[in-house]
Each structure stands twice: as structure tokens, then as C-alpha cells.
């Protein structure tokens, strides 16, 4: 079989509401240390600014604390129903506080809510002691987990993000790109986190406690259901926010990160602008579906003749409203029967705006038997003399 390229036309129809504001492009880079907008499922980055510099991360730290705690729960080492006796060290943790008292007993579940909704540093310390035995041991666990996840920029000195002093070594650090990786890992493995972070206030009746969540976007942009705020003098005002995009055939989740904003208004406005930009200018499309044949190919020595060709895997991509998508199938120089289901016979190349973004194996979707001698002679004669 000769090497053949087939270009398949792909039309993407994006349904936009008539009152939707469309941003051709945005720039949120002024007066911040870095920013990122990305998709949870695909990991695609739709907007970025200074995402690889190691930055002070303040209370964004608590996402790693949550991850280690949930892994311990999953391994049945601890339970969210555990009663935790609060140590003097935890109760005296400075900075943002849930107001826990030395010697009192609280459920681990309550401490988690106090850590994530109102950013209690004291809760983070108590959780660290419960999971790791000591804070020092827990911090070692944090750094080991960061290494395991490939978060090469991460450096932790405590479970909450409060700086020890003004020196660089007294801060927890991570790059925005690694924060994005961490958030994707947590939301993929522990999506129930959002049931906590979507709460606009924390109410604990038995403690006569009521306080608004630290995440300002929960009441500003409809649909936002997380994730974590942070602030120190060194880090500036930080926010990891997220929301699901559904309807009109869409079902994906955006993640926005703003680090080092100078004012509360800038943190809110820039986070909102990122998320709206993602919602209004992109859609997630299944460009290649492994359950659907992408082409038919004629294999001259096969029993059936024409054989359905399938992608070896699905391909979901975030596609801009004005992007042009092209799919090209290139077949191997030689494709002959017999073949086994799943055998590669070519390559599917996906282009967005003329740039190749992905290659996927083109495979046969069934066993392909070799034609007997009589069928091959018949096809040979048909090829010579015509129909």
C-alpha cells in the first residue's frame, strides 16, 4: 500500500450567548507577580505570565496540607471523624485563625473546614500534628510529596504558609506552573474538596462561630466554587480560583491563579477577567473519538477490502473560538493483512491554526483476515478490466 495522506475536514460550532462579552485578548500582567489560566482535564494553559519563577505562596500552602491529610484518610491511617486534641503549639499559631484552644477537642473534619474556608493557620498546624505526629515530620512529608509529584520548585518550611521571618528562607515557595500541577492533582483525585471550598461562610453552631470565607470570588462570579486564598507581605495577595463550565454541550473546569496582586480589588478583578476570558473564548472539544471510525482504508489483500480506521485514544482539546482545526491521517508505506485489532497502520495528526499539536496512532478496529487466492485474483482482474 502506498503512503497516503488524507486531510479530514472538521467543523467546530461554538454556540455563544448574544449578551456574552468576547475578549479577543487580555493582559492582566500589571502589578502582579504572575498569572495562569488552565483547564483541569487536559492540563492546557490558556494564559500565562511568569509561571516558572519560584514565588512565596503564603496560604496556598494549605492545599498541600489538605492533600497529605486526604492521602492518610484514603490509606485509612486516620479518619475525618477523628477527635483531635488541640496542642498548645497549634492553638498559639499566629496569623489567620479559627480560634482553637489548647486542650479542646475538635473533629478533623471541622479543622479541615477551618483551614480551607477561613484559612486558619492554627487548624493547619493541628492537622499537621495529627497526620505527621509532629510539624517537623509533616513538613518533611510535604517536601517529599512535592518531589514525588515533580513539583521541582516547591520548598516548604511549615504547613500553613505564614513566614517565619522576612528572609527568603523563611517562606514556603512554589512556581505558578507547579501550583497548577498540584491543584490539578488534588481536584482530579479529591474533587470533594469543592464541597468545602464552595461555602461562602463557615458556621459552627456548637462553637457559636460564624465567619465569611476568605475567597472573595465566591460572591462575585457565579459558578466559582474554590479554591484558596493567600497573603503575606512577601507573597502579596494570591488566589487560586476555579469554576465549572457546563451547558451547550460543554463540561470542563477552569483553574485561574493570580499571585502577588497589590490590592484586594486587583486580585478580584484579574481573577474574574481570567475566568471570563476562558469561558467566553474557549470550548473543550473531542477532536478525536476512539469509539468512532475516523476513516476507511482499502487493504487490497484483506478479506473485507475496506477497513474502518480508528484513533488509538481520545483527544480532548481546548479550542479557541477562532481556531482552525485540521486532522490529517497518514498511512504506513505498507499495510497488508493479516492484522490484529489495535495494530497501528498509520498516524493521525491534529493541527490547530496550521501547527501540529498532537499525533495519535491510527489503528484497525477489528482483526483483518487475509483474502483467499480466489478473492485476490478476482480483485486483480477487476482492477485491470474495470467494473
pLDDT by position in tens, the chain (length 387)? 444 455 654 444 333 333 344 446 799 999 999 999 999 999 999 999 999 999 999 999 999 999 999 999 999 999 999 999 999 999 999 999 999 999 999 999 999 999 999 999 999 999 999 999 999 999 999 999 999 999 999 999 999 999 987 666 789 999 999 999 999 999 999 999 999 999 999 999 989 999 999 999 999 999 999 999 999 999 999 999 999 999 988 999 999 999 999 999 999 999 999 999 999 999 999 999 999 999 999 888 888 889 999 999 999 999 999 999 999 999 999 998 899 999 999 999 999 999 999 999 999 999 998 866 655 555 566 567 665
Query: Domain residues for 319?
Result: 5-13+289-385
Residue ending a domain, among 260, 282, 304, is: 282
CA pair distance 48, 278, nearest whole angstrom? 12
- 276 and 320 part of one domain: no
Which one of 33, 59, 181, 317 is the catalytic residue? 59
CA pair distance 67, 182, nearest whole angstrom? 9
- 65 and 200 part of one domain: yes
Look at residue 84 and tell me if it is in a domain.
yes
**pTM confidence score:** 0.89
- 187 and 50 part of one domain: yes
Residue 297 sits in a domain whose CATH number is: 2.60.410.10
CA pair distance 62, 120, nearest whole angstrom? 9
- 41 and 87 part of one domain: yes
Annotation says 241 is catalytic: no
Look at residue 25 and tell me if it is in a domain.
no
Query: How deeply is 284 buried, as exposed, middle or buried, from its count of CB atoms within 10 A (0-12, 13-18, 19+)?
Result: buried
Residue ending a domain, among 261, 282, 303, is: 282
Three-state secondary structure call for residue 35? strand
Which one of 33, 96, 113, 119 is the catalytic residue? 119
- 104 and 245 part of one domain: yes
Residue 262 sits in a domain whose CATH number is: 3.40.710.10
In the chain, the number of structural domains is 2
**Cβ atoms of residues 362 and 294 within 8 Å:** yes
- 145 and 274 part of one domain: yes
**Cβ atoms of residues 99 and 126 within 8 Å:** no
Look at residue 27 and tell me if it is in a domain.
no
Annotation says 119 is catalytic: yes
Annotation says 59 is catalytic: yes
Which one of 62, 181, 228, 276 is the catalytic residue? 62
- 276 and 305 part of one domain: no
Query: How deeply is 155 buried, as exposed, middle or buried, from its count of CB atoms within 10 A (0-12, 13-18, 19+)?
Result: middle
Residue 87: how many other CB atoms lie within 10 Å: 18
What residues contact 164, with CB distance under 8 A and at least 6 apart? Answer: 157, 158, 170, 171
- 213 and 95 part of one domain: yes
Residue ending a domain, among 249, 282, 315, is: 282
Amino acid at each position: 500500500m502506498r503512503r497516503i495522506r488524507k486531510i479530514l475536514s472538521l467543523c467546530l460550532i461554538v454556540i455563544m450567548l448574544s449578551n456574552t462579552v468576547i475578549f479577543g485578548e487580555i493582559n492582566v500582567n500589571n502589578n502582579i507577580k504572575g498569572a495562569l489560566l488552565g483547564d483541569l482535564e487536559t492540563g492546557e494553559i490558556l494564559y500565562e505570565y511568569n509561571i516558572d519563577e519560584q514565588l512565596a505562596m503564603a496560604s496556598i500552602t494549605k492545599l498541600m496540607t489538605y492533600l497529605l491529610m486526604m492521602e492518610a484518610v484514603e490509606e485509612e491511617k486516620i479518619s475525618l471523624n477523628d477527635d483531635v486534641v488541640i496542642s498548645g503549639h497549634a492553638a498559639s499559631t499566629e496569623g489567620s485563625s479559627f480560634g482553637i484552644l489548647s486542650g479542646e477537642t475538635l473533629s478533623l473534619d471541622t479543622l479541615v473546614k477551618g483551614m480551607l474556608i477561613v484559612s486558619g493557620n492554627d487548624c493547619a498546624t493541628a492537622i499537621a500534628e495529627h497526620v505527621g505526629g509532629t510539624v517537623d515530620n509533616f513538613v518533611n512529608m510535604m517536601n517529599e510529596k512535592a518531589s514525588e509529584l515533580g513539583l521541582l520548585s516547591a520548598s516548604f518550611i511549615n504547613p500553613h504558609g505564614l513566614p517565619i521571618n522576612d528572609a527568603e528562607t523563611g517562606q514556603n515557595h512554589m512556581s505558578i506552573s507547579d501550583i497548577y500541577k498540584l491543584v490539578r492533582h488534588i481536584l482530579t483525585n479529591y474533587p470533594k474538596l469543592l464541597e468545602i471550598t464552595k461555602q461562602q461562610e463557615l458556621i459552627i453552631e456548637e462553637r457559636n462561630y460564624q465567619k465569611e470565607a476568605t475567597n472573595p470570588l465566591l460572591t462575585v462570579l457565579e459558578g466559582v466554587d474554590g479554591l484558596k486564598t493567600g497573603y503575606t507581605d512577601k507573597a502579596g495577595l494570591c488566589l487560586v480560583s476555579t469554576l465549572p463550565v457546563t451547558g451547550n454541550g460543554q463540561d470542563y473546569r477552569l483553574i485561574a491563579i493570580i499571585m502577588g496582586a497589590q490590592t484586594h480589588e486587583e486580585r478580584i478583578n484579574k481573577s474574574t477577567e481570567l475566568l471570563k476570558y476562558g469561558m467566553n473564548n474557549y470550548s473543550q472539544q473531542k477532536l478525536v473519538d476512539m469509539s468512532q471510525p475516523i476513516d476507511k482504508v482499502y487493504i487490497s489483500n484483506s478479506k473485507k477490502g475496506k477497513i474502518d480506521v480508528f484513533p488509538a485514544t481520545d483527544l480532548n482539546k481546548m479550542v479557541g473560538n477562532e481556531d482552525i482545526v485540521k486532522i490529517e491521517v497518514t498511512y504506513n508505506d505498507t499495510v497488508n493483512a493479516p492484522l490484529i485489532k489495535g495494530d497501528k497502520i498509520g498516524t493521525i495528526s491534529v493541527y490547530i491554526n496550521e501547527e501540529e499539536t498532537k499525533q495519535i496512532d491510527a489503528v484497525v478496529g477489528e482483526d483483518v483476515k487475509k483474502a483467499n487466492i480466489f478473492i485476490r485474483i478476482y480483485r486483480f482482474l477487476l482492477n485491470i478490466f474495470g467494473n
